[in-house]
């Protein structure tokens, strides 16, 4: 029986800027010196973020969506390529052996798609299967990983999942809306790839669970406007997460004869300090259980779908053996995955 296994992880991040530099160099002026905006930036749990488009030197807030998409296309291909190359090297897998390339992104569109452009630049098999996963937002890495794992189990061939997000191209026009200030204080660019193989050493992909609360569909939105993509974010999101996370996690662990005490690595998507606090409360975990997620938020910001893979890589470096990954996004949707170290 084939056991899909995460055998390699690759990370690619653009240049970093400190949260203070971004505030003083751009957002202080952008938000008209708002004391509320200053507090939000200071309390976002972020020390630095990565941007392909640094607003201090390049203000895109008034640009059209077409201009933003052209910039996205120019920047995302080399970033995604670097992440995939690093993941393949980490796994010890040749590019030509890959049978499926799945790409998750919600921050841009280009045709030919990122999957096609990467397959060309990496000289992947012309018979490669491809899968594009769009507009799932911050939780997209986990359904993407589930699809890739299913392919590996069925075909016995290695596969790659790439998550690539560039929120920096969507800086919005000046506003006093709190949800816009919050999103501008949190989001960051990056790419992360995983190589999944039929067995071997790494993290065995054990299973997944999902929950969507359609009554809260208006709590998190990602709207295409004439000035890029606009985030809608309700302050009620942490409450919904706190309500649903324990049933999701217990269902997933229980299906494999495990309980919360068996998990030594919690790879929870750090959507913000309030998200992590609600998750810890809902799961009855000590605050320290989510220290790795907090560290990723401090060092990298919220990179949308990329972020949970950044947490996974940090847990791998720390030697975690049983990992519960969970991420959250529009729907509101919660997605969880169980990974266990093998080999």
Burial label, 229 (beta-carbon count in 10 A; 0-12, 13-18, 19+): buried
User: Which DSSP letter does residue 26 get?
Assistant: I
* Short-list 295, 341, 333, CA closest to 142: 333
SS3 content of the chain, % helix, strand, coil (to 5): 45, 25, 30
C-alpha angle 26/270/89, rounded to 5°?
95
Q: Which of 106, 138, 163, 303 is catalytic?
A: 138
Question: Could you tell me the maximum CA-CA distance found in the chain, to the nearest angstrom?
Answer: 60
* Residues near 274 by beta carbon (within 8 Å), at least 6 away in sequence: 237, 238
Q: Which string of DSSP letters, residue by residue, matches 66-102? A: HHHHHHHHHHHHHHHHHHHHHHHHHHT--GGG--EEE
Please choose, from the candidates 297, 295, 298, the residue with its C-alpha nearest in 3D space to the C-alpha of residue 318. 295
Residue 303 is among the residues annotated as catalytic for this protein: no
**Phi, psi (5° rounding) for residue 182?**
-60, -50
- Give me 98's structure tokens: 């890959």
Please calculate the CA angle 193-85-204 and round it to the nearest 5 degrees: 45
* Cβ contacts of 122 within 8 Å, gap of 6 or more: 81, 84, 85, 95
Tokens of 129: 């299967």
Q: Which residues are known catalytic residues?
A: 138
């Amino acid at each position: 029986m084939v056991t899909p296994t995460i055998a390699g992880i690759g990370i690619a991040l653009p240049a970093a800027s400190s949260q203070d530099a971004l505030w003083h160099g751009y957002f202080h002026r952008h938000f008209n010196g708002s004391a509320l905006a200053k507090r939000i930036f200071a309390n976002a749990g972020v020390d630095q973020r990565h941007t392909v488009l640094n607003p201090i030197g390049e203000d895109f807030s008034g640009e059209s969506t077409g201009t933003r998409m052209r910039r996205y296309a120019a920047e995302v291909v080399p970033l995604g390529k670097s992440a995939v190359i690093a993941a393949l090297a980490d796994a010890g897998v040749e590019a030509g052996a890959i049978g499926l390339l799945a790409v998750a992104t919600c921050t841009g569109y280009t045709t030919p798609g990122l999957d096609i452009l990467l397959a060309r630049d990496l000289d992947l098999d012309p018979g490669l299967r491809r899968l594009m996963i769009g507009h799932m937002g911050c939780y997209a890495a986990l359904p993407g990983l589930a699809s890739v794992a299913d392919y590996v189990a069925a075909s016995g061939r290695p596969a790659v999942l790439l998550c690539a997000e560039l929120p920096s191209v969507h800086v919005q026009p000046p506003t006093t809306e709190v949800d816009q200030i919050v999103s501008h204080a949190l989001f960051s660019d990056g790419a992360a790839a995983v190589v999944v193989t039929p067995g071997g050493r790494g993290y065995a992909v054990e299973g997944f669970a999902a929950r969507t609360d359609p009554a809260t569909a208006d709590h998190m939105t990602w709207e295409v406007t004439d000035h890029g993509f606009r985030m809608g974010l309700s302050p009620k999101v942490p409450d919904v997460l706190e309500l649903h996370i324990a049933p999701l996690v217990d269902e997933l662990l229980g299906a494999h004869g495990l309980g919360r005490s068996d998990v030594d690595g919690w790879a929870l998507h750090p959507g913000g300090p309030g998200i992590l606090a609600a998750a810890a409360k809902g799961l009855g975990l000590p605050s320290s259980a989510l220290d790795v997620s907090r560290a990723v938020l401090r060092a990298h910001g919220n990179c949308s779908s990329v972020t949970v893979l950044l947490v996974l890589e940090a847990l791998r470096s720390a030697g975690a053996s049983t990992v519960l990954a969970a991420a959250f996004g529009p729907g509101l949707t919660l997605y969880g995955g169980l990974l266990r170290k093998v080999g």
